[in-house]
Chain A
């Protein structure tokens, strides 16, 4: 027997005001991980330690049953949005993310010793749990060789910034916990995307779209935008080429690691448009657009524009109003834009025009602004409450980038980092191959406020804020109120000991006295909200009666 989370049926298009910046969305951050005092430590093991440490912080001990496991039932990493499924045998092993990653006892013992294994969350079968579902609705887990925080689903770019930054606080809490343990080497986490030695790791965005939009339209509409949006939200990088073999500074952390235009992979032959098709929702209604081209952002303004402008371009594509232009050789153009901090380089369009990245962004801005005005969502008073602000900031930032770059340095991350690096270059006469500049680039992304250079600038009010510190702190423990993440997060916080698993689209209860597990599907992202389920949580402190009412409301078999 299953129940569905009560609520009204979602409207076509998700039930949010259409045409602007509102949309179901979320972020994923893979953190760079480094233990300076234990340089040979196994990265997967260290990442598992980060998860364990946070479990200890929340008193949700991985082996104690209080923490919620990930439910892998609905993972479909080999589904391709172009309409087919990759054969498992043809897939790269790293693409098989629908199986729980397992560190077996032998691997752990090899890395840290048998005693360590017994002391640190073995679950009895010789495996370490490497997944948590958090009370704020997020997922914290080991992805490949990095700890990853996947934010809860939110409905707007401002909340995307808040719950993404909340992940940095989660990571910080784990780092603090590990640093306080005299038995363990301290672990540093970095919100960046490359080690500058040919390895890159991702920062992904997810956007819910109606499945009815042809994927070809998404590819055509998004590619020129993705080639150029880095001027707003690139995080900046010291070094050129995947291995940084050429000295210099470029706009994007990620650009040099992209090799193809469209594809399913995320770890090899990275594509500008990723076709991974796991809706994590009702599959015939929605697709989850998985965006892998972005840089991880510490700058709130860059992060806000990353989510806000992309959401608006998707609204254009849905309406069939995306600018009709195509970039010649988009991968090369992506890298050319990244390598030109003067913003004067031009990319060639298939119609023969040559335009700058800023020109292309203005073309998208004008189209997005017109569509948002036509649909009414852009109105400062009667609009959707978000689109007006996104448009205003988008235009202001493009204007600054075209002229007053010093002003843009307080919001655009690659410029903020560049101004710091230029300060060092001028004061100390350093060339771009200086290790000190490489260290500034790396330490920019250290998530500890006392060590992270972004945070030093923030403390001096040299970086703009989109959300205040209190909002981010609350987002660390509280779920968004207006998506199914509310139901998931509240279930974890309230009924953690009665849960055996959760995922984006399910919560699974194991309640004493009930014969079998109760799997509550949450396949509609805009149900399970506080408005729809807050009363249920208010009425019940225990899982049994809670489930009984839930099942009683919407019984099905």
Chain B
């Protein structure tokens, strides 16, 4: 996507995916439902990306000191 040097402050009340049509304004309940759907899709995608065996992976991430 093109650069957006300055985005205007967002005035959305709930988090809605960008590809949801902006108008007409949806009732709050529908917005919340769309937001939930967006989160569910996102979590489904991330489930497929996360390393397997979370416990072992996190435990093995051991760093030496730094600044």
Contacts and interface: CB of A to CB of B under 8 A. Distances in A.
B61 A442 contact: yes
A143 B2 contact: no
Contacts of B49: 443, 450-451, 453, 456
Contact of A423 (B1, B8, B13, B43): B43
Interface string B41-67: 011011001110011011111111111
Interface string A126-157: 00000000000000000111100000000000
B63 A436 contact: no
Contacts of A70: none
Interface range on chain B (Cβ under 8 Å from partner)? 35 or more
B7 A36 contact: no
A404 B11 contact: yes
B26 interface: no
Interface in B1-40: 1-15, 17-18, 35, 39-40
A396 interface: yes
Interface in A422-454: 423-424, 427, 435-436, 438-440, 442-443, 450-451, 453
10 closest Cβ pairs, A-B complex: A201-B66, A468-B3, A396-B9, A145-B64, A202-B67, A435-B55, A195-B63, A439-B54, A266-B67, A435-B54
Interface string A455-490: 011001110111110110000000000000000000
A204 B7 contact: no
Interface of B: 1-15, 17-18, 35, 39-40, 42-43, 45-46, 49-51, 54-55, 57-67
Interface residues of A, number: 66
A201 B5 contact: no
Given A202-B67, A465-B1, A471-B3, A406 B14 contact: yes
A375 B14 CA distance: 38
Contacts of A460: 17-18, 42
A145 B40 contact: no
Contacts of B66: 30, 143-146, 199-202, 267
B63 A267 contact: no
A146 B63 CA distance: 9
Contact of B6 (A392, A404, A468): A392
B54 A43 contact: no
Nearest to B45: A456
A255 B37 CA distance: 35
Given A143-B67, A409-B15, A442-B58, A468 B7 contact: no
B25 to A, nearest CB: 16
14 contacts: A32-B61, A36-B60, A39-B62, A267-B66, A393-B6, A404-B11, A407-B9, A407-B12, A409-B15, A439-B54, A440-B46, A442-B57, A456-B46, A466-B5
Nearest to A301: B7
